[in-house]
């Protein structure tokens, strides 16, 4: 992990979203399969044909250590694109995690593997492997446009995508947000209210 990624990894997705101006957040349907799952890494993007995961098998041969596999599976939610064996393969390849707009299956087995997986649904039916998709192209996932190399962060709150060119600026803003929040915590412990600490008194008077 690069120093920039290591520094960004210190922050929860909520802080990163704030540092992006409350943008860059995937829709609430994209959730971790287990509490405590966290990931951060550059996106390796895949677009699959609906209910077909042939492109994912190709992607697992090409991904690099530390990347996050981000999958546009369309709107299908009753057919899983990813199962335990694929997550096992991803873990052996050194992926930082998977984010799937679509369904996964073998949820218990995936949780046992420990690799962070975020998905829109869980369903038992498996996919076909017939139609090539597209790798390393801009995709849509969780309502966001994701480019190859964008930084993808996931935790219990969801998934945030940081455009690659904005990472340093986001880190600076995240550090400023953390400093401000630490001051607020000290104020709360000293007996002040959030109304005063956040400068909301005048708005309430209005």
pLDDT of residue 199: 87
pLDDT of residue 10: 97
pLDDT band at 111 (very low <50, low <70, confident <90, very high): very high
Residues 127-166: tens digit of each pLDDT: 999 999 999 999 999 999 999 999 999 999 999 999 999 9
pLDDT of residue 30: 98
Helices (H), 2-83: 3-8, 13-19, 54-62
Put residue 66 in one of left, alpha, beta given phi > 0 → left and psi -120 to 50 → alpha: left
Put residue 36 in one of left, alpha, beta given phi > 0 → left and psi -120 to 50 → alpha: left
Cα angle 138, 139, 143; round to 5: 130
Residues 25-36, mean pLDDT to the nearest whole number: 97
- Which is more confident, 205 or 171? 171
pLDDT of residue 200: 87
Average pLDDT, the chain: 96
**Distance (Å, rounded) from C-alpha 38 to C-alpha 40?**
7
Is the model's pLDDT at 206 over the cut of 80? no
pLDDT band at 91 (very low <50, low <70, confident <90, very high): very high
Is the model's pLDDT at 42 over the cut of 80? yes
**Cα dihedral 101, 107, 115, 33 sign:** positive
CATH of 3-164, one of 2.40.50.100, 1.10.10.10, 2.40.50.140, 3.50.30.40: 3.50.30.40
pLDDT of residue 203: 85
List the one residue out of 71, 97, 89, 112 whose CA is nearest residue 9. Answer: 97
Contact 167, 8 (CB under 8 A): yes
Cα angle 66, 70, 74; round to 5: 170
Tokens 């957040």, residue located? 25
Domain boundaries, the chain: 3-164, 169-205
**Distance (Å, rounded) from C-alpha 78 to C-alpha 34?**
20
pLDDT of residue 115: 98
């Amino acid at each position: 992990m690069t120093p920039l990624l290591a520094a960004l990894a210190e922050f929860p997705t909520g802080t990163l979203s704030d540092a992006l101006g409350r943008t860059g957040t995937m829709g609430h349907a994209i959730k971790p399969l287990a509490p405590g799952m966290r990931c951060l890494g550059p996106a390796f993007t895949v677009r699959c044909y609906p209910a077909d995961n042939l492109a994912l098998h190709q992607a697992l041969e090409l991904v690099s250590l530390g990347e996050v596999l981000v999958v546009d599976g369309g709107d299908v939610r009753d057919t899983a694109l990813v199962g335990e064996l694929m997550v096992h393969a991803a873990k052996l390849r050194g992926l930082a995690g998977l984010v799937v707009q679509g369904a996964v299956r073998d949820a218990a087995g995936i949780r046992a593997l420990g690799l962070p997986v975020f998905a829109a649904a869980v369903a038992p039916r498996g996919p076909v492997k017939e139609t090539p998709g597209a790798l390393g192209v801009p995709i849509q996932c969780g309502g966001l446009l994701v480019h190859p190399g964008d930084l993808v962060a996931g935790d219990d709150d969801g998934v945030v995508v940081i455009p690659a060119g904005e990472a340093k600026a986001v880190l600076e803003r995240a550090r400023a947000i953390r400093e401000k929040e630490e001051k607020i915590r000290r104020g709360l412990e000293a007996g002040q209210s959030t109304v005063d600490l956040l400068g909301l008194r005048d708005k309430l008077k209005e």
